Amino acid sequence: MKIRFWGVRGSIPTPPTDAVMRDKLRKALLQASPADISSEESIDRFIDSLPYSIRGTYGGNTTCLEVRTADDDIFIIDCGTGIRHLSAELMKEEFGRGQGIANILLTHTHWDHIQGIPFFVPFFVKGNRFHIYSPFSDIKERVEYQQVFTHFPVNLDSMLATKEFFILEKEAPFHLNNVTIINKRMRHPGGAFGYRIQEDGKSFVFTSDCEFNIDEIDQIDSYRDFFWNADVVVFDTQYTFEEAIDKIDWGHSSASIAIDIALRFNVKKLLLFHHEPSYSDEKLETVLSNARTYMSMSARRKGVLDIDIAREGVIIEL
Ligand SMILES: [Zn+2]
Ligand SMILES: [Zn+2]
């Protein structure tokens, strides 16, 4: 299975400002020597040598992931603004000819997870077929409501692709070709669901938005089957440890909690996700390095868990 990140930011899109762009440019130029900028090749080498927070961005689009299975089935996880870039990519394929088929898994319907739907071009193309899954029994009404005339000029029905809604049984597996998908209810205002996708002995867990506070930790073993032995877990780490204490019941977690859970359940790789909108790329790099430090504080933990931070455009193959 192949997983691609199209949107990784939490809560609200965060396009880079003029000041952010200037700061990146300034930092890069301050580090450059005359030799670094003596030819096009040396400029490319120099750019590649810079920290990612200077040469790029972790991304400002809200949640959207694409999962392609070995059978080439497509699963889109959430429809935040990142779906606009996925949209352009899909339109180059059969979706541009009205012959595309894809599945959409929705975790919940907070704006940052559905706000890309009105701009998802494959929904406008007659002939495309989408199966939209969620354990929320009123999922169709929720998605339709975003596009009532007072909020958007085109309602969902006027987007000509076929869109079928399926209500998943809570915490029960469902199967599609060789893939098994299990949903798990997460603590989050209004509720949210994580998904575990399994294929050919590989498993991918996506859980955002989720709050693992003291109450959840008390019953942590009820999450064992959901996380157990996963190859990759994408986890909501919007807050630092201090912020998580300050913002109890806001519905998000921190990297230290994510690491504790990943270690407890034998996870192989953890990706920090749902980045706080106020965090700069530099701050996100600090979040990652602090997470790795926390992980290595105990010798027992060393090398057990691979930790990285999600960024737009990254592809992971399992
Ligand atoms: Zn969210
Ligand atoms: Zn949410």
Q: All domains of the chain, ordered by start, with CATH? A: 2-14+57-317 (3.60.15.10)
Distance 62 CA to ligand 1 centre (A): 8
Distance 34 CA to ligand 1 centre (A): 44
Position 247 scores a pLDDT of: 80
Q: Is the distance from CB of 295 to CB of 305 less than 8 angstroms?
A: yes
β-sheet bridge partners, residue 181: 174, 197
Helix (H, G, I), strand (E, B) or coil at 79: coil
Position 299 scores a pLDDT of: 59
Position 31 scores a pLDDT of: 96
Q: Which residues of 215-248 are buried (b: 16+ CB within 10 A; e: fewer)?
A: ebeeeeeebeebbeebbbbbbbbbbbeeebeeee
**For the chain, give me the number of helices (H) and strands (E)?**
11, 14
Position 297 scores a pLDDT of: 83
- Provide the strand spans (E) within 55-147: 64-68, 74-77, 101-105, 129-134
Dig out the tokens for 288 from the structure. 């990652």
Position 84 scores a pLDDT of: 98
**Ligand approaching nearest to the C-alpha of 251:** 2
Q: Can you tell me the distance from the alpha carbon of 227 to that of 12, in angstroms, rounded to the nearest whole number?
A: 27
Q: Can you tell me the distance from the alpha carbon of 288 to that of 272, in angstroms, rounded to the nearest whole number?
A: 8
Helix (H, G, I), strand (E, B) or coil at 24: helix
**Ligand approaching nearest to the C-alpha of 81:** 1
**Spans in the chain with pLDDT lower than 50:** none
pTM for this prediction: 0.96
Query: Can you give the three-state secondary structure of 197-234, one letter per residue?
Result: EEECCEEEEEECCCCCCHHHHHCHHHHHHHHCCCCEEE
Distance 192 CA to ligand 2 centre (A): 7
Position 34 scores a pLDDT of: 97
